[in-house]
Amino acid sequence: MTRGPAKPGTVYLVGAGPGDPDLLTLRAARLIATADVLVYDNLVAPAILDLAAAGAERIYAGKRRGNHALPQEELNLLLVELARAGKRVLRLKGGDPYTFGRGGEEVETLHDHGIPFEVVPGVTAAAGVASYTGIPLTHRDYSQACVFVTGHLKDGSMDLDWVGLARRRQTVVIYMGLHGLSTLCEKMIEHGLPPEWPAAIVQQGTTPHQRTVTGTLATLPELALAAHLKAPTLIIIGEVVKLHDKLAWFEGGARTA
């Protein structure tokens, strides 16, 4: 069954994927083309916005480190106001709306105000970057579990379950961890992983600007600094990183040590 175009007075939380427009779902592309207004974040690629109708209104609501274009509470209410005005509202988020995208908070507000909504999943950054860098998230020889965490620094520290993260036979994926990379690697070593444990950081994964830096917990912070990486990035820790050289297919210039 194929669902129809966007409906007036409804909000659609749509995952835009990790960057490559070809990774959009068919449902996402159909809704983008029929929406009256697009409320989009910082991680949505311009090529995806270009799929919108010529007359569609665009509202930027992105969040960069230390600079939020629109506070989350105000954004939630904006979606309510637009829907009540009879608009077909597309809330477009990088990756997947329910994976570190605050989609749950936005949907709660819509529900509380009686606004109809639909959530369209997207390829989350971990899945997209893993595929495009040749670093499987799981592998029978190396990893039987995968953990996603957010690496935002708070008051100069990371409040994470280090004992649970610093385990062998699993892959740890850290979103938004560039500025806390040194702390992250130090804590993983402190809680039991060896300094030579494989680790990688990927900038702008799945896009033509993708850059992958591989190393170890001991070397990765220095390598990333030398590479002058900029957000958005994704960090992958685990023995699966060793497969990058063999399985990478998308980029040509990976840096290793």
Q: Given a cut of 60, is residue 66 above it in pLDDT?
A: no
Please give the average per-residue pLDDT across 97-123, as a whole number.
Answer: 96
List the catalytic residues.
41, 63
Q: Where are the alpha helices (DSSP H) in the chain?
A: 26-34, 46-49, 72-84, 103-112, 125-133, 162-165, 181-190, 220-226, 244-247
Q: Given a cut of 70, is residue 1 above it in pLDDT?
A: no
Write the DSSP string, 185-225. Answer: HHHHHHTT--TT-EEEEEESTTSTT-EEEEEETTTHHHHHH
Q: Which domains does the chain have, with CATH numbers?
A: 10-120 (3.40.1010.10), 125-256 (3.30.950.10)
Instruction: Yes or no: say if 223 and 255 are a contact pair by the CB < 8 Å rule.
Output: yes
Residue type, 122: G
5-39 as b/e: b if 16+ CB within 10 A: ebeeebbbbbbbbbbbbebbbebbebbbebbbbbb
Q: What was the pLDDT predicted at 155?
A: 62
Average pLDDT, the chain: 92
46-49 own/partner pairs: CB under 8 Å, 24+ apart: 47/21, 48/16, 48/17, 48/21, 48/24, 48/92, 49/92
Q: What was the pLDDT predicted at 253?
A: 45
Q: CA 33, CA 221: separation in Å to the nearest integer?
A: 42
| Band of residue 3 on the pLDDT scale cut at 50, 70, 90 | confident
Please give the average per-residue pLDDT across 210-238, as a whole number.
Answer: 97
Does 6 or 144 have the greater pLDDT score? 144
**Closest by CA position to 181, among listed 162, 168, 200:** 200
Q: CA 14, CA 120: separation in Å to the nearest integer?
A: 5
Q: Given a cut of 90, is residue 177 above it in pLDDT?
A: yes
Of the chain, the end-to-end C-alpha distance in Å amounts to: 50
| Band of residue 73 on the pLDDT scale cut at 50, 70, 90 | very high
Please tell me the chain's helix, strand, coil percentages from 3-state DSSP, rounded to the nearest 5. 30, 25, 45
Percent of the chain with pLDDT over 70: 92
Q: What was the pLDDT predicted at 65?
A: 58
